[in-house]
Amino acid sequence: MNSSPSHVSRRLKRLGAAVSIACAVPLAAAAPTEGGLYIAGYEFNFDQAASRGLAQNPKGQRFFVLTLAPNAGALTTTAPASSIALRERVLRSNGVLLVCQRDIDKGSIDASKLAPGVVAVRGFPPPGSTVIPHGERYFPDENRDVLPKSNEALRRLRATCS
């Protein structure tokens, strides 16, 4: 029994749709699961950096907000209510709040006053150091789950905190 041309056409359209869906799934799975690094430093304050991170990353996409010493008050337990609300919104949106370990070591940031969930990050070790094993991206005692997977973002983070 021969199929009518319209029946064959419908079958080809269904097959084409199935192939399109099958091809789209790997593309969606390969889409970046990490957003960018936003720095609250000398040009942008915490509110600006955090708001930009929230706006530029789809819901659930992890992103990073590094806050340097001049803006670290927003990450303390005594921060203004508006900063606390924004900080909590960042965390609920899969954002990671970071400060530089260097700022803690220098006394510019008091680690005992940081809000829960704020992570201290180290910069690059000095030239010739073996603190980060050859071929590795992380210090041995670092929690890799809270740091960027992207080489570019991690390099920018470490450079800023050096």
Question: Residue length, the chain?
Answer: 162
Q: What are residue 38's phi and psi, to 5 degrees?
A: -115, 130
pLDDT digits (tens, 9 = 90+) for 2-12: 555 554 454 44
Q: How many angstroms separate the CA atoms of 108 and 38, rounded?
A: 20
Q: Looking at residue 154, what is its pLDDT? A: 96
Report the distance separating Cα 160 and Cα 162, nearest Å. Answer: 6
Largest CA distance in the chain: 85
User: What confidence tens digit (pLDDT) does each residue in 41-91 have?
Assistant: 989 999 999 999 999 998 889 999 999 999 999 999 999 999 999 999 999
Q: Which two tokens stand for residue 97?
A: 């709040």
- In what helix (H) or strand (E) does residue 128 lie, and over which residues does it extend? none
pTM (global) more than 0.85 = no
Fold classification of 33-160 is Hypothetical Protein Ychn; Chain: A, (3.40.1260)
Give the pLDDT confidence score for residue 135 in this predicted structure: 85
Write the pLDDT tens digit of every residue in 104-131.
999 999 999 999 999 999 999 988 888 9
Using the CB atoms, write b or e for 122-136: b if 16+ within 10 Å. Answer: beeeeeeeeebeeee
What are the residues facing 95 on neighbouring strands? 63
